[in-house]
Amino acid sequence: MGGSGSRLSKELLAEYQDLTFLTKQEILLANCWLLLHPLHPSGSSRASPSTVPGTQAHRRFCELLPQEHRSTEESLHTRVSLEQILSLPELKANPFKERICRVFSTSPARDSLSFEDFLDLLSVFSDTATPDLKSHYAFRIFDFDDDGTLNREDLSQLVNCLTGPGEDTQLSASEMKQLIDNILEESDIDRDGTINLSEFQHVISRSPDFASSFKIVL
């Protein structure tokens, strides 16, 4: 397709706009953002982690554009490895970052993201995505063993992610048991000892703060 000057053809851009909850600007920003990392595998993200992430990405994007000429095909099929995605400033501090990447990855080994996977991720975490979609993916992110329900192990892993990585920061065993019992008591409606997607979505639907907190600003 066109090739010179623009990475994403008009048709592709329109298609992405139709199929995701992203605006055109966000898609373009995401494109450049992701392309950047294969180009500088170790440098830019670690060089200045403390500066403003948004303006940083934006500036990098702007200085990158004029000299760079890559075809769309190439950029679409480039897969970015998990480590590179995890070092993105927006995901760096997130305790669920590995899970998020795994859930959205379409590669067989679940260890890399293509540009489209990345767009999927951003779409789900965007402002306009439906609460239904958000809660579906939240469920899959929290389902650590990918078995389709949140059982006691999933819940305890989830609580550990929330309370912090260190040994001393975790809840004691009795507290954890008490907490998980309470959670199951509150949300396991059909009393089968685990929380399935519908039950999870039922709980989430009662919390107005979920939609505003399950969001990543590009």
Partner 1 sequence: MAQPLPFVLNVPEIPEDHDREPSPYDESEVHDSFHQLIQEQSQCVAEEGLELRQRGLGAAAPGTSGSGRQALVGPEDAAAYSTATLRILASMPSRTIGRSRGAIISQYYNRTVRLRRRVSRPQLGGVGRSARPSLRLYDLELDPAALEEEEKRSLLVKELQSLTVAQRGHMLKGMPLGLAEKRSLREESRTLTGKPRERRGRRGLFPCCGWLRDTCVLVGASGLGWAQGRQVGGGALVPSCPLGGLSPPPPPPPPPAQPGSWGLTLLPFSPWCPQALHGLGLWLLAGLHGLKPWRYALKRIGGQFGSSVLSYFLFLKTLLAFNALLLLPLLAFVVGVQAAFPPPASPGPVPAFTGLELLTGGGRLTHTVMYYGYYSNSTLNPPCVPAPDGGQCGRETDGLPYNMPLAYLFTVGGAFFITCITLVYSMSHSFGESYRVGSTSGVHAITVFCSWDHKVTQRRASRLQHDNIRTHLKELLAEGQLRQGPRSVCGRLRQVAVLGLVWLLCLAITLGCTVAVYAFSELMIQSPVSAEQGGALLALPVVVCLLNLGAPYLYRGLAALERHDSPVLQVYVAVCRNLILKMVILGILCYHWLGRRVGALRDQCWENFVGQELYRLMVLDFIFILLDTLFGELVWRLISERKLKRKEKPEFDIAGNVLELIYGQTLTWLGVLFAPLLPAVQIIKLVFLFYIKKTSLMANCQAPRRPWLASHMSTVFISLLCFPSFLGAAVFLCYAVWQVKPSSTCGPFRTLDTMYEAGKVWVRRLEKAGPRVSWLPWVHRYLVENTFPVYLVSALLLAVIYLNIQVVKGQRKVICLLREQISNEGEDKIFLINKLHSVYEKKERSRGGRTQEAERLEEDPDAR
Show contacts with partner 1 in window 70-99 (CB under 8 A).
89-90, 92-96
The interface region with partner 1, picked from 37-45, 78-86, 137-145 by CB under 8 A, is 137-145
Regarding 204 and contact with partner 1 (CB under 8 A), the answer is yes
Task: State the nearest-atom distance from the C-beta of 92 to partner 1, in Å.
Answer: 7
- 126 alpha-carbon distance from chain centroid: 10
Nearer residue to partner 1 within complex by CB, 43 or 164: 164
Side chain identity, residue 40: H
The interface region with partner 1, picked from 11-19, 37-45, 78-86 by CB under 8 A, is 11-19
Nearer residue to partner 1 within complex by CB, 82 or 120: 120
Q: x/- string (CB under 8 A) for partner 1, residues 27-56?
A: -xx--x-------------------xxxx-
- Ranges within 115-134 binding partner 1 (CB under 8 A): 116-117, 119-120, 125, 127-128, 130, 132-133
Regarding 109 and contact with partner 1 (CB under 8 A), the answer is no
Task: State the nearest-atom distance from the C-beta of 42 to partner 1, in Å.
Answer: 19
Report the 3 state secondary structure along the chain: CCCCCCCCCHHHHHHHHHHCCCCHHHHHHHHHHHHHHHHCCCCHHHHCCCCCHHHHHHHHHHHHCCCCCCCHHHHHHCEEEHHHHHCCHHHHCCCCHHHHHHHHCCCCCCCEEEHHHHHHHHHHCCCCCCHHHHHHHHHHHHCCCCCCCECHHHHHHHHHHHHCCCCCCCCCHHHHHHHHHHHHHHHCCCCCCCECHHHHHHHHHCCCHHHHHCCCCC
Of 18, 67, 108, 167, the one binding partner 1 by CB under 8 A: 18
Q: x/- string (CB under 8 A) for partner 1, residues 150-189?
A: -----x--xx-xxxx----x-x---x--xx-xxxxxxx-x
